[in-house]
Structure 1
Amino acid sequence: MGARFTGLQALASVEDHIVVCEDAEATVLVVTAPLEEHGRQVLAEVGSLRHLMVIPAAGGLPEGESYAVRPLVPGPATETDLAWLQYTGGTTGRPKGVMQPHRSMVQMVCAHMADFEQPHLPRYLAPAPLTHAAGLGVLPTLLRGGTVVIEQGFDPGRFLDIIEAERINCVTGIPTMIYTLLDEERPETRDLSSLEVIWYATGPMSPVRLAEARERIGPVFSQIYGQTESTGIGTVLPKAAHETASLERLASCGRPVVGNRVRLIDEDGHDVPVGEVGEIAMRNRGVMLGYRNLPEETEAALKGGWLHTGDLARQDDEGLLYIIDRKKDMIISGGFNIYASEVEAALAGHPSVGSAAVIGVPDDRWGEIVTAFVVARPGQDVDVLALQSFVKQAKGSMYSPKKVVVVDSLPQTPVGKVDKKALRAPYWSDPRAQSPLTLPHLPPTSHERYTALTTPPPRLIDFHSHWGTERGWKGSPYETAEDREALRGYFKWGMNFVSDDEQAAQFRQANAKVMLDFAYTYKMDAGALRDQHDYAFDFAHTHPDVVLGNWIGIDPTQPDHVKELERCLSEGPGLIGLTVHSFTPAGTPDQPEWENCLNLCTEANRPVLVHVGMSATGAGTRGGMGITLEGCHPRYVDRIAATHPDLNVIAARVAWPWQSEMIAVALHKANVWMELHGWSPRYFPDELKREIGKRLRKRVFFGADYPMLSHERLVEEWREQGFSSDVLDDVFSGNAESFLTSIGVE
């Protein structure tokens, strides 16, 4: 035909389509019936366009047109002639046209058929637009005489129906689709026996959720990493490589595909040593000719004959690559590439916005969400919902920030540039991780999940969290690499430590004031114990806006530990309380060894924290670290509250499997409260949920168990349970404020 193809993103705005069609000098525009008016607006503005073809809603050719079967005759094109002109966003806000010749398309097909484990007779389901990554699976399928089933959009139930009905054996998916399948459907109950491979691509996928997907759907997952500039050719992590218990390995994007050479290079173009971070540079016959009408960008991208991807990675001793960051500010949300500069330009066009910076923030469902930090113009107030609507109208729905944070100023580097590293720090705490290793959860299925994100976070008083810093875990049973791997496997937290300032920034971002708990200090000698407490007190003095106080964990059988508790009660900043663990040498809280410590807290009018129910400590380890669950029964809360009526006793955690007994104790004793850290409220027993809205409403404190569970996640999930706003206000901060006032803590 002598034609070339340019795909348009259906969710983009008319203005974006006009820019692309003008730069491509497109002559024919093909749209589906729902976008006919959209297409006519583009046709009216682009001088090169001569034809508009509207595909009927029912499919097929436009009315009045027909075709006859005819031989496929090779055209005059050579391997270097342009076949595919695909546009990708640019850092200047101008989209870049990636020029892919016929040789690139051939190389893509060869790599696909050689390394992607395509079934011998493929039955391929394309659940995403063919203008996107799903389109790359069409040619290899047809060349093998296979079948392509095209869907106009993704519906999880219909997706599974089609696999069953059409006996689909291969499909391209993106992390968002896979998460939705896991969260909204029960794929393990469907007949997916025909399915041989799911290629997931276009963005980071949580290793924890990937492991869940393999368990519920099957060992059919294969990861592909590539770029539009390389026709999707890059690396592959095949199905067999997914058969591992290592979450870190599941974060790998694999090894180079056949015909592709990969280097990791430094700023000077030299190879970096194994294990160190470098930019991915690729060379293969699928690499683009360049960017249309952008010679300088082309020269930079293809410098030295290598495609400089802008993606930073490291390589392990086995040759596996791990994407860790991007030099560019591209955000991958729901499988779509979104460029921060384009969102920033749209935000800056609003009359209330003085300046803006945009980053991608990790999200379990979307991979990343667009997050904007905006500074208001003098005398202006930023209406978050109106601003999101403004960006949506200007750029399309996928560019509209899911989260908007209004700030007084943006952080700057010494040379005056916006410091995006500082903005990312509270969210991307571990630069070595491709995706966050957080606790898996079931995200909501509607847009309601992001309603919470578009409003300022509530004021939180968190009555129990741990430390996100490495120093905060000193003396813990998880100091060795082996022990940490056990923790990752059970709690789905990668122990991705942050600095003191980064930890404070995370609390600040969540609008939280936190009671911190070291948890393992009772094993330390007196000197180390004092040093650890001094570290905590220094942090509290430096960041008084986010630290409520500290829980003190000691061994009451050691006199020096008891003296240290006395020092902390008299000198410690903020609220100081005693953590009572049944697994110390003193035993359960009702044992006489605890009596002196309980009396000290009573005299100081400071609370004690007693863990009840299944405790995180020891969970998932052989022998549970010697801890028996019986020692965490609510009866011990009942006993010390009865024998020390002037002592405030806070029961920590949900008390499962004895939540009924714990509720009874809290209702019976006026000096007993419940603090619910360590559990997502979606997993609370029904009885507990019911009582929180009724008789326990004024007896419950919010607790997070940071960093294993984030404050933002828990706030969203509390809101999803249907509690009234008044109840949530009490849980998030109201009850704690009343309690603190009663014991004289500001």
Structure 2
Amino acid sequence: MNVDELVAIDVHTHAEISADGHASLPPELMEASEKYFGAHGHRQPTVDEMAAYYRERKMAAVVFTVDAEHATGHPPIPNEEVAEACARHSDTLIPFASIDPWRGKAGVRMARRLVEEYGVRGFKFHPSMQGFAPNDPIAYPLYEAIEEMGVPALFHTGQTGIGAGVPGGGGIRLKYSDPMLVDDVAVDFPHLRIILAHPSFPWQDEALAVAVHKPYVHIDLSGWSPKYFPPQLVRYANTLLKDKVLFGSDYPVITPDRWLADFDRLEIKPEVRPKILKNNAARLLGLTGAGPADKEANRS
């Protein structure tokens, strides 16, 4: 991957369908997500199609699915399939994996194998969908392995479109995606590089506080059009968190084309824009020379 030639690095995209047509979500949850994002009937691109899409735009993209089989009963798209597809397109795609914390010791073994044998560069957690509190000790052996391997952990935070409008929210509990629960993780695993995904409604101020206070906690801007960003998020992205905020779209429900068009109209300082769009992610993911904080994290 030639980072210098990239326009941007999108740190938040979803593999929604496998090569054999297996969807990442049960039908009722997928339908609710599409309705929430106003993306009803959107195509579910394969990972190969995602590569062509991002390559055409001279962007790189982090790709993952969500393993929530314990809570939903729905088997995930195999992490191995996602990683192998990304490997075929290593000029533009970066593989993350997702492991349900309820898998216990088997999940820890799986995480190590995915990094060591499949080149996975990070892990995605969706606490509300996976049905666990991020600070539940059940997940701690998994965090320990991820910290030891020096790759990031990305946590969904805030409200989710998955289950929105379904009676009982499809059983999905929003409380698990409070970023203050991830603050405990940042304390207990002080060198774990963490990404808080999305503007964390209704906990935006909490997410900003955690990212300011904990040196290895970052924020991605996925899941919202920038024109809807809370003013305090824009203010912190321009100042205290200018080196820790990352471009993410939530593709395919939000396209990078739409996100970037709205970002162009946001009042972001010229010197901060390239940090958010590419440089911060490149450093965090080890795609370029790391800054002091990440070098220390990589030694842990």
TM-score range, shorter chain: 0.7 to 0.9
Question: In structure 1, what is the equivalent of residue 8 of structure 2?
Answer: 460
Task: Write out per-residue CA displacement over residues 180-230 of structure 1, whole angstroms, 9 at most, x where no aligned residue.
Answer: xxxxxxxxxxxxxxxxxxxxxxxxxxxxxxxxxxxxxxxxxxxxxxxxxxx
1:502 equivalent among 31, 35, 49: 49
Task: Write out per-residue CA displacement over residues 28-69 of structure 1, whole angstroms, 9 at most, x where no aligned residue.
Answer: xxxxxxxxxxxxxxxxxxxxxxxxxxxxxxxxxxxxxxxxxx
Deviation at 1:511, TM superposition (A): 1.9
Deviation at 1:474, TM superposition (A): 3.4
Question: In structure 2, what is the equivalent of residue 666 of structure 1?
Answer: 211
1:641 equivalent among 186, 200, 212: 186
Task: Write out per-residue CA displacement over residues 554-583 of structure 1, whole angstroms, 9 at most, x where no aligned residue.
Answer: 233443333212211222225132425244
SS at match of 1:571: helix
SS at match of 1:516: strand
Deviation at 1:697, TM superposition (A): 0.8
Distance of aligned partners of 1:578 and 1:459 in 2 relative to their CA distance in 1, 3 Å threshold: same
Deviation at 1:505, TM superposition (A): 1.1
Say whether the 8 Å CA contact 2:37–2:254 is kept in structure 1: no
Q: In the TM superposition, what are the counterparts of 1:569-648 in structure 2 within 5 Å?
A: 569-579=115-125, 581-585=127-131, 587-648=132-193
Task: Write out per-residue CA displacement over residues 466-494 of structure 1, whole angstroms, 9 at most, x where no aligned residue.
Answer: 12545498354344xx6654444322221
Question: In structure 2, what is the equivalent of residue 711 of structure 1?
Answer: 256
In structure 2, distance between residues paired with 1:661 and 1:524: 26
2:107 maps to a residue whose letter is H
2:119 maps to a residue whose letter is P
1:474 maps to a residue whose letter is H
Query: Percent of aligned positions with the same letter in both sequences?
Result: 27
| Mapped pair 1:536 → 2:87 | no
In structure 2, distance between residues paired with 1:524 and 1:571: 28
2:264 maps to a residue whose letter is R
SS at match of 1:726: coil
SS at match of 1:575: coil
Distance of aligned partners of 1:498 and 1:465 in 2 relative to their CA distance in 1, 3 Å threshold: closer
The structure whose residues are more often strand, as a share, is 1
Q: In the TM superposition, what are the counterparts of 1:280-319 in structure 2 within 5 Å?
A: none
2:114 maps to a residue whose letter is C
In structure 2, distance between residues paired with 1:692 and 1:729: 12
Deviation at 1:700, TM superposition (A): 0.3
| Mapped pair 1:740 → 2:288 | no
2:61 maps to a residue whose letter is V
1:566 maps to a residue whose letter is R
Task: Write out per-residue CA displacement over residues 414-436 of structure 1, whole angstroms, 9 at most, x where no aligned residue.
Answer: xxxxxxxxxxxxxxxxxxxxxxx
| Mapped pair 1:675 → 2:223 | no
| Mapped pair 1:512 → 2:50 | no
Say whether the 8 Å CA contact 2:226–2:263 is kept in structure 1: yes
Unmatched 5+ stretches in structure 1: 1-456
Deviation at 1:713, TM superposition (A): 1.4
In structure 1, distance between residues paired with 2:148 and 2:31: 43
Question: In structure 1, what is the equivalent of residue 105 of structure 2?
Answer: 559
Q: In the TM superposition, what are the counterparts of 1:412-491 in structure 2 within 5 Å?
A: 459-467=7-15, 469=17, 471=19, 474=22, 476-479=24-27, 484-491=30-37
In structure 2, distance between residues paired with 1:510 and 1:579: 27
In structure 1, distance between residues paired with 2:130 and 2:29: 20
2:198 equivalent among 633, 650, 653: 653
Deviation at 1:736, TM superposition (A): 1.1
1:572 maps to a residue whose letter is Y
1:704 maps to a residue whose letter is S
Say whether the 8 Å CA contact 2:199–2:221 is kept in structure 1: yes
Q: In the TM superposition, what are the counterparts of 1:217-232 in structure 2 within 5 Å?
A: none
| Matched residue count | 283
In structure 1, distance between residues paired with 2:123 and 2:20: 17
| Mapped pair 1:725 → 2:270 | yes
Say whether the 8 Å CA contact 1:553–1:580 is kept in structure 2: no
Task: Write out per-residue CA displacement over residues 520-574 of structure 1, whole angstroms, 9 at most, x where no aligned residue.
Answer: 454499xx66x71221122112111111221323233443333212211222225
Say whether the 8 Å CA contact 1:556–1:593 is kept in structure 2: yes
In structure 1, distance between residues paired with 2:118 and 2:61: 15
In structure 2, distance between residues paired with 1:634 and 1:472: 35
2:114 equivalent among 548, 554, 568: 568
Distance of aligned partners of 1:472 and 1:458 in 2 relative to their CA distance in 1, 3 Å threshold: farther
In structure 2, distance between residues paired with 1:734 and 1:549: 18
Higher relative contact order (CA 8 A, sep 6+): 2
In structure 1, distance between residues paired with 2:208 and 2:145: 27
Unmatched 5+ stretches in structure 2: none
Task: Write out per-residue CA displacement over residues 259-313 of structure 1, whole angstroms, 9 at most, x where no aligned residue.
Answer: xxxxxxxxxxxxxxxxxxxxxxxxxxxxxxxxxxxxxxxxxxxxxxxxxxxxxxx
Distance of aligned partners of 1:650 and 1:565 in 2 relative to their CA distance in 1, 3 Å threshold: same
Q: In the TM superposition, what are the counterparts of 1:257-268 in structure 2 within 5 Å?
A: none
